């Protein structure tokens, strides 16, 4: 029970570590291992209980990441090679095939050259030979057969185009369709083969007599000779293969030295580790760019050359929201300089925002994009040059944008979100005075006097607006509407309305008021509570005596 609990914790932690695909295929591997154990065990009740603990705790620990991700996924549009997709739309099987490991690339499991793929399959001759030794010498050991089957299944999963069984998983297994990148299963393949290689190394250097009889070791010189012959007859092959041939010969020589007593076991293991480093260095980092290579640093230079532009915007007082000319700066400028930016290289965005189109004048105004970074102005009549960096990149001020918060007293009603987005994008009315609502609207008053927004505090999780209202109206904040935001007017809870299909608004009566909006996401808070519960369950099971657990 203790090991099951902590296995669940660590499996849950894998879901907190970035991309969901490696965690997903690891979960599939654990499910397959558990299913095999259940099928072969005489005590199936105990196995089922342990599996329930593993996956129950995994669900609790991973909830702090998975629940917010699912919430965002339902609100967002995702761009793939087949086009934009929403939550309910399936990722087509051709895209899964394109994101798998091509069968022709299997050679790069042993030889360098696969680093142009999304995930590099390279293991090398040292790792593969040691894994083969484990298979040949100890396949009947439970852990060896387990990791061998795991490695094979992960490799077949990764080869989605040439594996018809993958289509069955795509159809019948939940979330496989959403995962989209079966090549990521190579992470499990590498883990399993690496474990086998460690077992093989321990087995190989345990007894010199066994190593002397190993057919794997005898095959290494032949493998090296084949590579050398191939390079002689086909010299346009990757030159790194010559290094792999040399490493194979060195590994064979090390085995010979070990079985003849020329090298102690500790030194033999250390030298095997050194050969692994030499071999992996011919793939890992091989494609890294030299800073003096101008052709290959074309995307790196803007990161360095725009530092003066970034500093200018960071130091400029007041609330800033930045637009970027993608043709001049091909990197995510806002993330690099920690600025609130409207342009980014990303795989997804909120569906409601994407439906408005790509930053036409009305949207630039509404979102308050008060700065634009470009070599030349894109809206000459509304832009004023503020700063020019050493690289020629300039900062322009957009003179016609709205403030971060404003008030309206007139509403237009749209029958649905799509029509509402069209009205916002293409309408001929002033968005500063008239707001678009979908289906239902609050009651507002028209008044002769003007409202006055006297101050605003803008933080990632808090927006505070001080306003003097001439009569009942709508205070609009140009931040995206999203689940988890709550509002208060003078300390009293208030409803947040979705304004112009994408941003937030709160109804405020006449007089002086303070409007506060806070981001308090239920999915994050509930997920964090689940995480604590999962850890607590693991600790409780750890403290119990094993015989006390049924």
Q: Report the C-alpha gap between 192 and 20 in whole angstroms.
A: 19
Band of pLDDT at residue 39, cut at 50, 70 and 90:
confident
Fold of 405-519: Maltose phosphorylase, domain 3 (2.60.420)
- The pTM of the full predicted model, rounded to 2 decimals, is 0.86
| Alpha-carbon distance values, 525 to 37, 390, 494, 520, 522 (Å) | 36, 45, 21, 8, 5
Ranges in the chain annotated CATH 2.60.420: 405-519
Q: What is the pLDDT of residue 549?
A: 46
pLDDT tens per residue across span 172-218: 988 898 888 899 999 999 999 999 999 988 888 776 666 666 677 77
Report how far residue 271's alpha carbon sits from residue 393's, in angstroms, rounded to the nearest whole number.
52
Tokens of 324: 């970027």
pLDDT tens per residue across span 14-36:
999 888 889 999 999 999 998 88
Helices (H), 409-547: 417-426, 522-543
Q: Each residue of 393-444: pLDDT tens digit?
A: 999 999 999 999 999 999 999 999 999 999 999 999 999 999 999 998 899 9
Torsion of CA 494, 497, 503, 504, to 10 degrees: -10
Higher pLDDT, 515 or 343: 515
Instruction: Count CB atoms within 10 A of the CB of residue 518.
Output: 14
- pLDDT value of position 548: 47
Sign (positive or negative) of CA dihedral 291, 292, 297, 298 = positive
H/E run at residue 469: strand 462-469
Q: What's the number of CA atoms in the CB half-sphere (13 Å) around residue 198?
A: 7
């Amino acid at each position: 029970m203790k090991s099951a609990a902590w296995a669940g914790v660590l499996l849950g932690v894998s879901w907190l570590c970035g991309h969901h695909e490696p965690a997903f295929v690891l979960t599939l591997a654990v499910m397959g291992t558990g299913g095999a154990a259940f099928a072969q065990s005489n005590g199936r009740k105990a196995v089922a209980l342990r599996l329930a603990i593993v996956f129950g705790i995994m669900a609790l620990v991973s909830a702090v990441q998975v629940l917010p991700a699912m919430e965002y996924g339902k609100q967002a549009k995702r761009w793939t090679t087949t086009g934009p997709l929403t939550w309910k739309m399936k990722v087509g099987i051709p895209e899964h095939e394109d994101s798998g490991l091509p069968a022709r690339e299997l050679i790069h499991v042993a030889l360098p050259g696969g680093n142009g793929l999304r995930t590099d399959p390279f293991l090398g001759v040292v790792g593969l030979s040691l894994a083969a030794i484990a298979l040949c010498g100890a396949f009947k050991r439970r852990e060896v057969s387990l990791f061998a089957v795991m490695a094979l299944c992960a490799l077949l999963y990764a080869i989605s185009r040439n594996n018809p069984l993958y289509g069955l998983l795509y159809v019948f297994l939940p979330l496989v369709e959403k995962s989209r990148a079966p090549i990521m299963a190579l992470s499990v393949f590498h883990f399993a083969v690496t474990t086998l290689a460690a077992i093989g190394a321990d087995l190989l250097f345990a007894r010199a007599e066994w190593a002397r009889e190993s057919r794997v070791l005898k095959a290494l010189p032949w493998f090296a000779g084949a590579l050398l012959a191939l390079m002689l007859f086909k010299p346009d092959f990757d030159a790194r293969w010559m290094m792999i041939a040399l490493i194979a010969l060195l590994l064979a020589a090390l085995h010979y030295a070990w079985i003849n007593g020329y090298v102690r076991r500790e030194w033999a293991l250390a030298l095997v580790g050194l050969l692994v480093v030499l071999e992996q260095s011919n793939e890992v980092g091989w494609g890294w760019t030299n800073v003096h290579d101008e052709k290959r640093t074309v995307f790196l230079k803007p990161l360095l050359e725009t530092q003066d532009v970034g500093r200018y915007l960071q130091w400029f007082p007041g609330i800033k929201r930045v637009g970027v000319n993608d043709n001049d700066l091909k990197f995510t400028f806002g993330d690099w300089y920690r600025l609130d930016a409207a342009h980014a290289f990303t795989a997804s965005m909120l569906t409601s925002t994407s439906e408005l189109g790509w930053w036409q004048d009305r949207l630039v105004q509404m979102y308050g994009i008060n700065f634009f970074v470009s070599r030349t102005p894109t809206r000459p009549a509304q832009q004023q040059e503020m700063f020019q960096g050493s690289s020629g990149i300039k900062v322009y001020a957009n003179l016609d944008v709205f403030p971060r918060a404003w008030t309206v007293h007139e509403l237009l009603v749209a029958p649905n979100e799509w029509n509402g987005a069209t009205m916002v994008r293409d309408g001929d009315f002033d968005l500063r005075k008239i707001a678009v609502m979908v289906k239902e609207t609050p009651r507002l008053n028209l008044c002769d006097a003007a409202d006055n927004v006297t101050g605003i505090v803008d933080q990632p999780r808090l927006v505070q607006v001080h306003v003097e209202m001439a009569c009942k109206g709508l205070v609009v904040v140009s931040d995206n509407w999203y689940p988890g935001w709550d509002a208060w007017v003078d300390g009293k809870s208030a409803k947040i309305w979705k304004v112009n299909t994408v941003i937030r608004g709160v109804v405020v009566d006449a007089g002086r008021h303070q409007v506060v909006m806070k981001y308090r996401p239920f999915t994050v808070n509930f997920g964090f509570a689940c995480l604590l519960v999962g850890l607590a369950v693991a600790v409780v099971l750890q403290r119990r005596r094993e015989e006390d657990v049924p």
